[in-house]
Amino acid sequence: MSRHRNVRGYNYDEDFEDDDVYGQSVEDDYCISPSTAAQFIYSRRDKPAAFAEPLEEEYGYEGTEDTAGYFTTNHQLSGVDRGKSRDSQSARMESEIVRKVTKMTVSGKKQSMGFEVPCAIAEENGHVNTPQKGLLAEDASVTSGVLEAVSKSALSPQIVQVSEEQNMVPTPVKKSSKTKPQIDVKAELEKRQGGKQLLNLVVIGHVDAGKSTLMGHLLYLLGNVNKRTMHKYEQESKKAGKASFAYAWVLDETGEERERGVTMDVGMTKFETKTKVITLMDAPGHKDFIPNMITGAAQADVAILVVDASRGEFEAGFETGGQTREHGLLVRSLGVTQLAVAVNKMDQVNWQQERFQEIISKLGQFLKQAGFKESDVAYIPTSGLGGENLVTRGQSDELAKWYKGKCLLEQIDSFKPPQRSVDKPFRLCVADVFKDQGSGFCVTGKIEAGYVQVGERLLAMPPNETCTAKGITLHDEPVDWAAAGDHVSLTLTGMDIIKINVGCVFCDPKEPIKVCTRFRARILIFNIEVPITKGFPVLLHYQTVSEPATIRRLLSVLHKSTGEVTKKKPKFLTKGQNALIELQTQRPVALELYKDFKELGRFMLRYGGSTIAAGVITEV
């Protein structure tokens, strides 16, 4: 076997005798007759002229014919050329190239310059090569002087004229493509959703409160998951010994999430109610994955807080160190004002009204402290596994006795959608970056403000690179444009994927977002063990970024309700205080002031695995 030949001890000299030189031709070994050799083996020395001539015969004139064919429409031809135009197809191809050429050549420039560049372009665009060869050969011929007379008389005046014409023609076209974005986005938005409003919903709560199961069952009851898939999940989860996780698998798609029975990343799907189109984000409840949960909550307008009604479980999630509190604080600090509390697993306590009331009283007090208005919070008893009170009002007798309110779907439907800042300049925070098939790469995220169209130039900050939006997909369907509030994935070209990472912001090149490493902010401090001092290290969570930062200066302590300065230059900050501080990040981050962009002006500070403060950016 040749693969196992002993390479190290091999004597190569036996292979190559002295008379065998590397550069020698193989003729003597294979007995090729000299005439065949002459036919097939190309030698530059032998006949340079003979090779150049056929090229010019084959291609040199073809180029001029084709251009001629293209220009016949313009009726500017000499009689000779008009006779030549015959091959309309190649002419069409040539015309495409010539168009490119004329765009690239300024009318006064040297011909050959224009012809060299577009060949590369034509190749990229997958044009057939003959016309290019034609062009190149013409180049060669212009220099070699064989075709000089023809090409000069026929081509150069035309190219100059055409490039002038082209220069005159495309300007209005360009303008119209620029004026195209001035569509009435609001009217289009109404049209696109069939009058349905868009709402981004995040599902939060303590680990194992049943968030994924609840939402998976809701999607199944709404018909977003077909019976076959559901049956498959049921079988698979039984095999894995987790029969009760079947509905959760609708949203927990990765193997690891299913294996551990914990949501780790934000699962995203969409469904429709009577009056709304809902983008559903299933956030992880485990405290190890809070950064992912912040990313999800930062993109949401409204939230469902799922709590576990069974004895001991609710208390575990609600007492200190539980995620119910932290998630509640987080979504409030990230600007979510409307909340539905789904009291899940009510079937385990036999739908007792007392237990429901007890949970409401505990949670209500806390949510009020967190800053939710009582009118904006609704409590709904549900059972995620049994599917009670999700899509239709509760059927079970125990529940129907005392609960007359809405079911979960009706509650979601009754949320008020927030004001979308469509009129502001475009902003999109990158939540994920991946390589797509074909050229370019994809970024996904929520458009926070403004709108984007296919073909627009976008600026990415902090890398400060521009690129073009080649395609936009919304819920896996390609669209021509998207506006504030949409979760989109953009296909981008003209930029290196290495430069983009999660947390970059795409914006309008005319009105770029600010980028800085130091900024001032007003923060509200939650329950903390250690007082905050100057030089305190924190983790800054802003939209989809998590960036290490330090507190550089403590400027002043503010009064909670009025915002007046109560103390200047404090030595430290303790829990519950409102303060002005200056933060410094390790790398530049793209930020907006709270007063300009409410959505983009909020951030969270975390330390040692718990959230210590929430804040808004006051100056950069």
Classify residue 245 by its DSSP letter.
G
Contact 91, 131 (CB under 8 A): no
User: Tokens representing 398?
Assistant: 């125990």
pLDDT, greater one: 388 or 140: 388
Q: pTM of the full predicted structure?
A: 0.65
Report the C-alpha gap between 141 and 591 in whole angstroms. Answer: 57
Helix (H) or strand (E) holding 357: helix 353-370
pLDDT, greater one: 443 or 421: 443
Q: Please, which residues have CB within 8 angstroms of residue 364's CB and are 6 or more apart in sequence? A: 374, 377
**What is the pLDDT, as a whole number, of residue 22?**
54
Q: How far is CA 417 from CA 298, 301, 330, 333, 485, in A?
A: 16, 7, 20, 18, 10
Report the C-alpha gap between 122 and 620 in whole angstroms. Answer: 46
Residue type, 198: L
**What is the pLDDT, as a whole number, of residue 230?**
94
Residue type, 140: A
State the pLDDT confidence band at 473, using cuts at 50, 70 and 90. Answer: very high
**What is the pLDDT, as a whole number, of residue 8?**
66
**What is the pLDDT, as a whole number, of residue 422?**
85
When mean pLDDT is compared across 147-161, 306-320, 376-390, the lowest value belongs to 147-161
* Residue whose C-alpha is closest to residue 500's, from 491, 512, 508: 491
Spell 427-443 as b/e; 16+ CB within 10 A means b.
Answer: bbbbbebeeeeeebbbb
State the pLDDT confidence band at 598, using cuts at 50, 70 and 90. Answer: confident
Residue 392 has pLDDT above 80, yes or no: yes
Q: Please, which residues have CB within 8 angstroms of residue 71's CB and are 6 or more apart in sequence? A: 77, 81, 158, 162
Average the pLDDT over 89-107 and give the result. 49
User: Tokens representing 126?
Assistant: 């997958």
**What is the pLDDT, as a whole number, of residue 198?**
86
Query: Environment class of residue 589 by beta-carbon count within 10 Å: exposed (0-12), middle (13-18) or buried (19+)?
Result: buried
Ramachandran bin of 264, using left for φ above 0, alpha for ψ from -120 to 50, beta for the remaining angles: alpha
Contact 81, 68 (CB under 8 A): yes
Contact 198, 279 (CB under 8 A): yes
Residue 27 has pLDDT above 60, yes or no: no
Q: Collapsing DSSP states into helix, strand and coil, what is residue 201?
A: strand
Residue 77 has pLDDT above 90, yes or no: no
State the pLDDT confidence band at 41, using cuts at 50, 70 and 90. Answer: low
Q: How far is CA 390 from CA 173, 365, 405, 410, in A?
A: 53, 25, 12, 9
Report the C-alpha gap between 457 and 468 in whole angstroms. Answer: 5
In the chain, % of residues over pLDDT 70: 69
pLDDT, averaged across the chain = 77
Neighbouring CB atoms inside 10 A of 551's CB total 22
State the pLDDT confidence band at 370, using cuts at 50, 70 and 90. Answer: confident
Average the pLDDT over 486-505 and give the result. 90
When mean pLDDT is compared across 1-5, 67-71, 372-376, 588-592, the lowest value belongs to 67-71
pLDDT, greater one: 95 or 291: 291
Tell me the per-residue pLDDT of 52-62, one tens digit each, with 9 for 90 and over. Answer: 444 444 444 44
Q: Please, which residues have CB within 8 angstroms of residue 273's CB and are 6 or more apart in sequence? A: 409, 412, 413
Tell me the per-residue pLDDT of 233-282, one tens digit each, with 9 for 90 and over. Answer: 999 999 999 888 999 999 888 899 999 888 998 888 989 998 888 999 99
**What is the pLDDT, as a whole number, of residue 529?**
86
Q: Please, which residues have CB within 8 angstroms of residue 1's CB and are 6 or more apart in sequence? A: none
**What is the pLDDT, as a whole number, of residue 486?**
87
pLDDT, greater one: 225 or 436: 225
Q: How far is CA 615 from CA 281, 369, 581, in A?
A: 23, 16, 10
* Residue whose C-alpha is closest to residue 452's, from 413, 401, 488, 416: 488
Residue 76 has pLDDT above 70, yes or no: no
Contact 522, 459 (CB under 8 A): no
**What is the pLDDT, as a whole number, of residue 17?**
52
* Residue whose C-alpha is closest to residue 534's, from 592, 603, 581, 464: 581
Q: Collapsing DSSP states into helix, strand and coil, what is residue 394?
A: coil
Residue 493 has pLDDT above 80, yes or no: yes
Residue type, 153: S
Residue 280, beta-bridge partner list? 201, 269
State the pLDDT confidence band at 418, using cuts at 50, 70 and 90. Answer: confident
State the pLDDT confidence band at 184, using cuts at 50, 70 and 90. Answer: low
Report the C-alpha gap between 298 and 294 in whole angstroms. Answer: 6
pLDDT, greater one: 95 or 35: 35
Report the C-alpha gap between 321 and 286 in whole angstroms. Answer: 11
Report the C-alpha gap between 485 and 345 in whole angstroms. Answer: 32
